[in-house]
Amino acid sequence: MSPKPVLHTIPPDIVAAKDYAVYARERLTDMAWEYLDSGAADEVTLRRNIEAFQSISLKGRMLEDVGGGHTRLSLFGHVYEHPVFLAPVAYQKLFHAEGELACALGASVTQTLMVLSTLSTTPLEDVARAHGTPLWFQLYLQRDRAVSLELIRRAEREGYRALVVTVDAPLAGIRNREQRAGFRLPDGVSPVNLPPFTPHAPVGAGQSLVFDSLMPSAPTWADIEWVLAEARLPVVLKGILAPEDADRACRMGVAGIGVSNHGGRVLDTLPAAIEVLPEISEVVNGRAAIFLDGGVRRGSDVFKALALGATAVMIGRPYIQALATAGPLGVAHLIRTLREELEIVMAVSGTPTLARISRAHLRL
């Protein structure tokens, strides 16, 4: 069945993030859908990201005066209207003809921070100059440091406000649903910010593809030192799950830690991001901002993440489903929906500001 056209109004039965999934499915090719929706291997982590949020109960606090409440936060010298950020998602022209530009327009309408992927299908300059959207740049460190440095400098020149270095995907995960669908990038969809791809060294007889070909060029802590020395922007490490790694990153001077399992896309049976957040927040102990992503689907999930120590959250698949369904309008509508849900939870938890949200507002 060929994909249905993008909508220009929001159907009345889309009232929550998850309602976008059905509409998005009908508007994407099988390959694009499997690329977006699947997780690594048996998708245990993918499911766990969602279930872990559902297993946490709110407490609910009544009769508090929440007058003057708001969802604003101040971060790295800028004020953001709310703590729901758009996680970096590669190849957005797979999901909408205007790709990252459509997304940036939806984000700008709602004053939402968007993190642009290294694997963007639109030049990072075009995204920066299009809609005045607050932007951070996500960096996949490249084999050649000169290529990484050029990306960092371009992002700095264009006014990106932070650098998000993703450290949990040195290899593409094995996503079986994507493999079964025979996923490949269609013509016209490519990572335009990068120089043409040069294949990894071929493996000889008796050699390992992973250890002899792919991993020798994967980033290490020494590369993070290098980024911290070179970058003029605050650096966030995305994809941290172990408290030991969070501590090391803080000692090196990162500005932020992204607690994430890459939406369950790389290594299956990792814990849910929200499950490890309390341990990470304990070791970080205020030394860096903390961002959580993976399974955020409700305003109450945002509240729970903040209560357990996150500064803000990021969403991935939901906004891409909204983009595929109704372009910028869908993205803006989804964000507004999540923000309203968050405001309601805040109001009925007696927390008029994000700073007031704490573990005491959960029933642990």
Ligand X SMILES: Cc1cc2nc3c(=O)[nH]c(=O)nc-3n(C[C@H](O)[C@H](O)[C@H](O)COP(=O)(O)O)c2cc1C
Query: For ligand X, which residue of 93, 131, 161, 317 counts as binding (CB under 6 A)?
Result: 317
Over the window 187 to 226, marking each residue x when it contacts ligand X by CB under 6 A and - when it does not, the resulting string is ----------------------------------------
Contact with ligand X (CB under 6 A) among 34, 293, 301, 341: 293
Reference 75, options 249, 289, 228, 258; nearest CA is 289
Burial class (CB in 10 A: 0-12, 13-18, 19+), 127: buried
Query: Amino acid letter at 214?
Result: L
Catalytic site includes residue 78: no
Using CB under 6 A as the binding rule, the residues of this chain from 69 to 108 that contact ligand X are: 87-90
Q: Which of 75, 105, 255, 315 binds ligand X (CB under 6 A)?
A: 315
Interface stretch with ligand X, choices 13-21, 22-30, 289-297, 334-342 (CB under 6 A): 289-297
Question: Binder to ligand X among 106, 295, 299, 327 (CB under 6 A)?
Answer: 295
Q: Which is nearer to ligand X, 277 or 350 (CB)?
A: 277
Alpha carbon distance 203, 227 (integer Å): 30
Residue 292 backbone dihedrals phi, psi, to 5 degrees:
-120, 135
Catalytic residue among 96, 131, 262, 333: 262
Residues in the chain: 364
> What is the C-alpha separation between 20 and 15, in angstroms, rounded?
9
| Dist CA 46 CA 260 (whole Å) | 11
- The answer to whether 346 touches 71, Cβ cutoff 8 Å, is yes
Q: Which stretch binds ligand X (CB under 6 A): 60-68, 121-129, 196-204, 256-264?
A: 256-264
Q: State how far the Cα of 160 lies from the Cα of 162, in Å rounded to an integer.
A: 6
Residue ranges in 331-360 that form contacts with ligand X under rule CB under 6 A = none
Residues 227 and 152: beta-carbon distance below 8 Å = yes
Residue for token digits 């040195």? 170
Of 26 and 51, the one with the shorter C-beta distance to ligand X is: 51
Question: Please, is 198 exposed, middle or buried when counting C-beta atoms within 10 Å of its C-beta (0-12, 13-18, 19+)?
Answer: exposed
DSSP character string of 296-330: --SHHHHHHHHHTT-SEEEE-HHHHHHHHHHHHHH
Out of 6, 34, 49, 277, the only residue in the binding site for ligand X (CB under 6 A) is: 49
294 scored as a contact of ligand X (CB under 6 A)? yes
- Smallest distance, Å, CB 47 to ligand X? 11
Using the minimum distance from each CB to ligand X, give the nearer residue, 10 or 324.
324
Q: Give the contact letters, 266-285, x = binds to ligand X (CB under 6 A), - = no.
A: --------------------
CB-wise, 238 or 352, nearer to ligand X?
238
In order of 3, 107, 120, 288, the CA distances from 37 in angstroms are 16, 21, 18, 31
Contact pattern for ligand X over residues 110 through 129, marking x by CB under 6 A: -------x-x----------
Q: Give me the active site residues, please.
A: 262
Give the interface with ligand X as residue ranges (CB under 6 A): 35-36, 49, 87-90, 117, 119, 138, 166, 238, 260, 262-263, 265, 293-296, 315-317
